[in-house]
Structure 1
């Protein structure tokens, strides 16, 4: 008698893989971003010292029990200044990206839906801005408007705006051809209603993923501008300014540049990993490979 079991296919369950925000890298990114957000929000409560308080007996002092990350050339506690610097970094990151996203998405929606002359005019302006490297464009705007927190946000926002405009336009050109948009037009819906209620919700996923990535980019540009002296002005704590002051005393106090650079690195790394996790989470085609 033939063994039937040898001819019966056995069901092999598909291995489940953890992706998106539930993956190890996604969890690590969330922990890093939440930790940095918590430090920025509650730095006034958890910072051991006033960030501008000078200890005249502790100039360029290394890490110790009194100052865990050491002090700078003015005797200010480095840990406290890095904590307050996280507030500046995140204000610039979220503020600049929010400004860029609002302007870029608005222009992209208008260009992609209207097409024709308005589309050409908007995209030529966007391409002209995109032709300049973001750091150079931000430097030019800062040189014209002067240093300051609000100026940094505007400068970085203008530099990043073309990315959102181009992404939004490409998404709108695809979505506007779908059946539900055609049905809304046939029912007499006007353009603003179609854009806000039917097109915008379907393009938010890629836009949010890009916005998350650009937060890290904005933080890097702010650090560069502050390093060059065009960012937030002293005595306000800024990671780029702290990094610059550490370069002047690199041989005597290497911990200043090391810890400020590490703060920038961990923040940008956390935001970048979070963008990857969000993109996988919102991508319907991302699944387990068999």
Structure 2
């Protein structure tokens, strides 16, 4: 009996010692409250993030629709649309936990649908190549918005934040459906430090974004990288927030699914500055 009590005490002590501390994991990290603060629930994202993820999956579905999936796989398309409608209703009803769960299922469903549709197109010729101009949404603007969201960097650093990596991944998922795509990536810094050092840092940041997109299957010839260093600040001022907004990579979708080619990496920066200021496509 004495030995049993000793073992039980040891187990209880070990269990307490093994419990994760605050900030180091555990279910308690995800126990949040609704935006009104009155009702508690289990979920890990807020409404805006969930809605943005849903819109991203809707865009992927729209691209497949533009490629002809409705003629090739109508039943699978209908199931995907039903899931999108279900999640929309859940978000409207503030059912955040359920909508987050179903978004995970929907993401897996869209990935499988993409693979199957690509395979059907390859072996049967059903459908067609997608054209951004033929779509019902401004996909070009959507991709550009993703690449310019959460795109800030830490001071004197070129590492991508987790949020920025997620936006880059989502943009790549959309870009993979298009040929002849050209994107200009422009690295920027704040005004702290030497101009040449900042010029190099801006280029390193743009290179990091390019490499992240390449890791998701895109082609290096799709991208031109340049740096404007500290010369083109997003915010004029020296507060911490203004300096953070200046440490960024700006992405410009020059062409999407057409025959334009702006991907020559040796084109001087003056060409791109003139091109962007003129508003040419």
**TM superposition score category, shorter chain reference:** under 0.3
Whose RCO is larger (CA < 8 A, sep 6+)? 1
| TM-score scaled by length of structure 2 | 0.24
- Compare the two structures and name the one with the higher strand fraction: 2
